[in-house]
Structure 1
């Protein structure tokens, strides 16, 4: 079992405890933090994969209810949450490889991947490269080709700055230093929610605590920028990425917020049209993180799809 270390203070390994999660650390060529939400032994495995700038906390409102029927785990990708990234790559391809190792060495079986935003891209990359490890994909506002449907202008500008060599790291670091941890989390909520008043107070406070801890870690901003750049590189080859997506043969559920500022709903509608075998749900008045903004709605759609895709053993 790997140990968590940081610049200052102990890692807050109890953040998911109020929602029934137990922190674990696996050694996968370095510590990888994950949360065990339990579930019946022998039940189909469900692994929750967060997006850019996210963590295991992105799933706490739906993980425990899913664990009534499924064996549920959430991991922090390299460079995010409580998984350090300064000594390993944080690109989407590297995190797809890390997810593969997690499934092989921790889960020990193929799994249904429930993935949001960048995590959706990571899950799609894995399903393409290692279909033997994936039983199905529930993609929640995933990163998709957007060449005909550009994101919000402010979002596009931020990504353009982050993609600029040397400038991106400096801008992100200087901007983050000016914000309190509460302001950091509020900024994320305002960006990712269509209605920020839907933010859960407990999740908000846990996210503030996580933000405070991450200030003590080395290379956090550089890891974030590296991940963002790798995501943009995939999106700059929209034809190749779209072909990869079409080549995924596993069952797919797509849930997308119609008020998503980061991945416009038009991109999701096009992906759904290109992949008619998918089950698709579009949520009016919902932003980029539906599992946080309207968790009960997302949970209902997930349960219905999971019952058809990976019915629990009786």
Structure 2
């Protein structure tokens, strides 16, 4: 079947994918082996822009807006329904090769669950700063953020969100980037945020992860407080074919904080 977007160039093309009666929006750029990028809950698809520009020199890069973000319609039914919507959107792209799914944070959980529920959807997985399940303190953090945002709005937890994205020293050194990300976070639809917090607080994929048959690269920033390195280590240990990489000096969004370092860590894996 021919590729849906054979002429997407280095500057990219914004597309709207029809998924049943709903829509998923994306930006497509570059050419080559396809890589689908799935963003974090606290950072929209633009958090992949620096990495996408680098990857597009060798790959076809698809930056999906997860359901409830950008022009992608939200979906009821928890993280399973989000994963199913992502799988449908990938099929709608009519790619000539099975893609690499690369997810960061919330997008990593979505990528993992998509591969579990749709085993033939991806050739490989790159899972950055996620895991198979949160500890009880991690679960409570999502409940607390959701409760505070319900009572006072997303602005009340913006500082907490930025701390979960970046270590304090990085925030001090890059105030403009932090303010840009704060504005992006405040644009998240509250219902999308609350639904994702509830889903992540309840998530436990540890029994299902050993069934993932494709190769997986598991990465995590050594300073990640949102999904600490021990979560990623546990995930890698449960997967039958996984490699674990710790990214020095990075926190929850290493592809945004250090795109060249992140690219160096994944380039060999995504080229296969």
**Could you state the TM-score of these two structures normalised by the residue count of structure 2?**
0.83
- Among 66, 83, 87, the residue aligned to 1:96: 83
Shift of 1:205: 3.6
Distance in 2 (alpha carbons) for counterparts of 1:130 and 1:178: 36
CA contact (8 A) 1:199 1:293 kept: no
Distance in 2 (alpha carbons) for counterparts of 1:211 and 1:306: 29
- Gaps spanning 5+ residues in structure 1: where? 1-18, 236-240, 310-314
Instruction: Report the counterpart of residue 27 of structure 1 in structure 2.
Output: 18
Instruction: Report the counterpart of residue 120 of structure 1 in structure 2.
Output: 108
* SS of the residue 1:242 aligns to: coil
Instruction: Report the counterpart of residue 202 of structure 2 in structure 1.
Output: 233
* SS of the residue 1:172 aligns to: helix
Distance in 1 (alpha carbons) for counterparts of 2:174 and 2:87: 32
The count of corresponding residues between Structure 1 and Structure 2 is 259
Instruction: Report the counterpart of residue 163 of structure 2 in structure 1.
Output: 190
Deviations for 1:217-268, whole angstroms, at most 9, x for unmatched residues?
Answer: xxx2122111221222223xxxxx1121111010101111121111121122
Distance in 2 (alpha carbons) for counterparts of 1:301 and 1:137: 14
CA contact (8 A) 1:90 1:226 kept: no
RMSD: 2.7
Over 3 Å counting, the alpha-carbon distance change for 1:56 and 1:90 in structure 2 is farther
Instruction: Report the counterpart of residue 238 of structure 2 in structure 1.
Output: 274
CA contact (8 A) 2:211 2:239 kept: no
CA contact (8 A) 1:91 1:231 kept: no
CA contact (8 A) 1:54 1:81 kept: no
**Could you state the TM-score of these two structures normalised by the residue count of structure 1?**
0.73
* SS of the residue 1:137 aligns to: strand
Deviations for 1:93-134, whole angstroms, at most 9, x for unmatched residues?
Answer: 111011111111124352100101121111111111212111
Shift of 1:211: 5.5
Instruction: Report the counterpart of residue 15 of structure 1 in structure 2.
Output: none
CA contact (8 A) 2:12 2:30 kept: no
Q: Which has the larger radius of gyration?
A: 1
Over 3 Å counting, the alpha-carbon distance change for 1:25 and 1:203 in structure 2 is farther
Instruction: Report the counterpart of residue 78 of structure 1 in structure 2.
Output: 67
